[in-house]
Structure 1
């Protein structure tokens, strides 16, 4: 039997929601993801300072590695958070789950802001730092599943791609804000001031945003009561249902996430490091590159979501993924041939535009893979596992490939290899942009 189309769809619950309520919904859903990526950027920016203050290793390289490792541990708890908070969202509601993730993210960020240094508390200092990162990772794992599914379910039937795309757009805005905050502090404070108290300021700023996000989420409408009552009840353990009845959807979702995540971390984060560490470009180009890619993601991702509502998600996802795979190798070749700031910024700009168009429909595609009763669980598991492995370990994989192959083009091959998996996954997915959600 053919799936119902939008023309025959029942009234969408959001049709009864005011424009102001929809705006609040988008802001409430985006704020948690924005806080996560803001913290990601500022932590990376001050990794050298954090390593020096929290890890008593005399070797500066060892300090940096330990600081980066303490940040990376958050990726280990992402799948656990995705699983547990995703099931919680399906069982008790998206709104309660979103309040939980925001509270946990606030706790982790506040712990970093007030954490004593090694000189003040000894071994307790790095332990507190690692616990904070584990809490943040756990929260981030469940954030996307709960908030993206809420956006999807509350969006007008013909704008699901646009609404869900704001989840990824917020990542760009927060990356830009984090980069600008780091630049402003570095430019205005001395090294002694940064090490004494300046590095804490961005984390206090992140914590200060939480009350606004909490108010937005506390006062938003999850869905009209009649639609909640009519929705299928979530199974007792949603994970079992996802694995037993939606295994193909999980595999397709993982393939889709792998391609987007690998490209995101290489383009938004690794390219700037590559330019400085491998090509010898000045350090300011790294932060400017991050600002450019963040701004483009913020502006262009919603355009991708909008286009996916008009021309179809699969078509847009496949076209832009293939374009990115074709462009990534020449981009790295050009960078190595002309290693200067202009080339780096041009490459980042072009790749970021294509990548942002590609991730625009991703949120809707992941949510549309699963029925409402297990949607948050399925989307959270797929996204958190894909990001944890192919995003959190992207720099490790790429660096290892460079060492093994002795080729500076290894990052391009990494993106191409992951992109092939994504292309296969989308080819196996049914186009759902013109179907009813449930």
Structure 2
């Protein structure tokens, strides 16, 4: 690819950015939270807005819903050229407490070069990065393009399998770009090559058939909350490593990531120590982790002096990329049941599961991607990273399209705070993401000539 053509696309993306940003802000203003307890008319409106944007660029568009939230499929044909499928999602996480935000979550606001708002980074910026790349080619990229914008990624992609089964042939491609991950840091692009899988369970512990007076029976009769706490405490050893036996684990790439960076990015309090052993990145990316993410028991403000008969907790376990989710669930279930003190009854319910992903990130498509990143970031070499979070749809695409090169990219950086209050997008990095994808489409077409 000539230097002149690279510069042309660089100039074109820069020219397009004001409108790309305006369209991103319009999408961000739609509170498209896919959780059942929120108004799903907003998710419908978001799908319609995405479809309108795609049609405006000349794509053949259909909104599909297979028992779940609406997804948008757009297509640009290019006979006798490679085809690239571009993925993003238009649904977002709940905003949480508005008081935790410095500005309203659905009113995009710029501060210090970042655009704040729920979905501004995760993942409506992914939608707009794809559109920016198409616009940079004036709607006629030198490859065929399938654009798939999901509407329920934030609630587990339950209908994705059906969508892929019924509409998958329309998404078949030589390369699939899944824009829902992160870069290593501002100024350093990354390809995500491993993702942990996940298991989520609900643990119910029972010790009594009804609540009883704690003064009259305490000391002889166990309460369910204490029993549950002991069960949960058994999940880690004294150093904070996962104590469930038999789980797979690996070592992460040797990148520079120290405790100071972990503290800065996570908000770990000064007197609180990190947990686990091995390198920090191995703990974050390739080893299993277990977190208690919810607890059902009487609140402090409403508690009475009684022995509680039943208590529940929701437990999230991240597993190595090559671990079978079902096998991991069985190991976790057996551990929890064996840890029950005093004969307490323990019931384990599988709430959700998702497979991990590991890419063999070699070959011509990955070479093209890395060169596109390098040029978009002014010569900065991209790095291969893992992500400790789980993105089950990546494994679904890899299973459906085993011959396609899977590129997991993203618009986020360590300060984006996806899912948290004050989620934001670094605007200068976003422009580089848009340019990198425009270059990728150009070079995928040129590689076939």
Fold shared per TM-score above 0.5: no
More strand by share: 2
What is the TM-score when the length of structure 2 is the normalising length? 0.27
Asked which structure has the greater CA Rg, the reply is: 2
More helix by share: 1
